[in-house]
Amino acid sequence: MRTAPVDIGGAIVPNNVFCAPLAGYTDFAFRRLCYSYGAGLCFTEMVSAKGLKYNSEATRALLHRHPSERDTAVQIFGSDPDVMRAACESEDLADFSVVDINMGCPVPKVFKNGEGSALLGDMPLAEKIISACKKSGKRICVKFRTGISEDKKVTAEFAKMCEGAGADLITVHGRTRDKYYSGEPDYREIAAAKRAVKIPVIANGGIFSDADAEKMIAETGADGVMVARAALYDPHIFAELTGKDAPRDIKRDVLDEIEDMLPFYGEKFTLVQMRKMTAFYTKGLRGSAEYRKRLFAADSISALYAIIEEIFPE
């Protein structure tokens, strides 16, 4: 696809191929990998504004960045405008110039708390949250879905509201909340959002190849794309989409992630996380089902290293 810089309220992002915030996956080690393959902007995992308010160490750990990371954006969620603004103004987010507000998460726990995609059904509250966060002086992005359900689509109206409340960029996931991650994205709804605003619009949903990205841009007129699940299977997709000359070395990538994570997270968490990530990277390999079974049975980092050597020999 054709790449171009993106202006987020005066901050220039090098290209318009973003890596989505993915809870449980987009930690600092994975983001470093995505940047190395050409991602223009990466986001932290979803961070609870309330968790920051109550000094949750687990929440703060999500904010850790690799020394090589550039302007990674932080994604926060919540339903209280004052708490959301306080999070933006907190010392915890002092090093983040771009804050993304999650208004699209479909999981029941978040939805029932009136957060994430629930805000699609309460536009006045969503507007107050964006406006409050904007007062912090941060550059504000909003990620949202096309609606709560097929009969309650609000894409263009919600996009206008975001811009009016001060958002510098919006990302539209082209599915309703009830669809979760299934089905083809709704190109018409994303196109409607693009026509409704002047700020940059990033399109999210169903991007697994350069052809998918090309179609998304052609169908919607969006200013860029956001890659989600495809990056988990193959972070090299960012090189494919941006045209970066960066050959994939899966074994080296896995070992680098482990080495990045061990000093910060320790062996227990690193083992659990990297069993999961390595399993993703085996997709398409002969014997991948058996490899995944063995990966999840690994009970130490040394056992994990041994399996990695078998899966990805020199």
Domain ranges of the chain: 6-242, 250-311
What's the rounded Cα separation, in Å, for the pair 20 and 18? 6
Whether 25 shows a pLDDT value over 90: the answer reads yes
- Give the fold, CATH level 3, of 250-311: 1.10.1200
Q: Catalytic site residues?
A: 105
Tokens read off for 214: 């090309």
What's the rounded Cα separation, in Å, for the pair 204 and 189? 12
- Average of per-residue pLDDT across 105-119: 97
| Domain 6-242 listed as CATH 3.20.20.70 | yes
pLDDT at 9: 97
Structure confidence by residue, pLDDT tens digits, 228-242 = 999 999 999 999 999
Kindly report the average pLDDT of the chain as a whole number: 96
Q: How far is CA 2 from CA 97, 171, 258, in A?
A: 26, 18, 33
Strand partners, 19: 42, 227
pLDDT at 57: 95
Whether 259 shows a pLDDT value over 90: the answer reads yes
Strand partners, 100: 75, 141
pLDDT at 87: 98
pLDDT at 313: 81
Confidence of residue 70 (pLDDT cuts 50, 70, 90): confident
Confidence of residue 185 (pLDDT cuts 50, 70, 90): very high
Structure confidence by residue, pLDDT tens digits, 278-296 = 999 998 888 999 999 999 9
